Amino acid sequence: MVMQPGQVPILVEYRALTDEDVVGRVRAGETALFEIVMRRHNQRLFRVARAVLRDDAEAEDAVQQAYLSAYSHLDQFAGQARFSTWLTRITLNESLARRKKRIHLAEVEMGDTLTDTLEETSAAMSKSKSNPNPEDQASMRELTGLLEAAVDELPEIYRVVFMMREVQELSTAETAACLELTEEAVKVRLHRAKGFLRETLFARLDARAPETFSFLGARCDRIVANVLARLPPLPGSRS
């Protein structure tokens, strides 16, 4: 069966196959099935690459190259770890190499010279998604931007763990396997990442406190229109 990229059947018909099953069939000649593993793991790998590179476009490039590298080295996948773990390691290595190259180029060009806060944020985002109005949407975009900026400022060893555990929601064990760390090290780094984020977000929210509950134009217009529509005629008026 010949299928084009993006066709639904390739996701539905083969959804019962494990990654390892798919890899076996790809190696046997059904190369089109490689699309399955890409669609399964695109989001995870992008988030991992983004955690290292802090640039959307470069993260996409890194993921694409990681897939190409993985495909050309499928014969080296020994099955000792999960295929998703193997893919993640390749993506991390590609991302780290790109970052190292970027730093080197920058040096040449220069002439060689929260746990509570995070839970509240998540709750607010979930509530807003149920029936967001324009003000909610604007607020959530701003809140998401604040959180993403804070995550970008984390030291890399904490940023990558945070992205994998809290954003991608991998288990501690799988995160440890991908990063070749102990589970205890993952827990420590995640705890420190949340501590950094809590401090950063509180500092920024303190600075922005005077701007909260802003009276946006749409809200002003809505109140005025509602009141005008309900005003009774005054005694002696011609209306």
C-alpha 146/C-alpha 144 separation (Å) is 5
pTM: 0.61
Confidence (pLDDT) at 131: 60
**pLDDT tens digits for range 121-180:** 555 555 545 566 665 666 667 677 788 888 889 999 999 999 999 988 899 999 999 999
Q: What is the mean pLDDT of residues 32-57?
A: 91
Indicate the pLDDT class of residue 192, thresholds 50, 70 and 90. Answer: very high
| Distances 96 to 45, 76, 157, 212 between C-alpha atoms, Å | 13, 21, 12, 39
* Whether residue 217 has pLDDT greater than 70: no
Domains of the chain: 9-109 (1.10.1740.10), 115-213 (1.10.10.10)
- Taking alpha carbons only, the member of 191, 193, 175 closest to residue 183 is 175
Buried/exposed code over 39-52 (b: 16+ C-beta within 10 A; e: otherwise)? ebbeebbbbbbbbb
| Distances 75 to 22, 24, 29, 31, 81 between C-alpha atoms, Å | 13, 10, 13, 14, 14
**pLDDT tens digits for range 74-102:** 989 988 889 999 999 999 999 999 988 77
Q: What is the mean pLDDT of residues 189-206?
A: 87
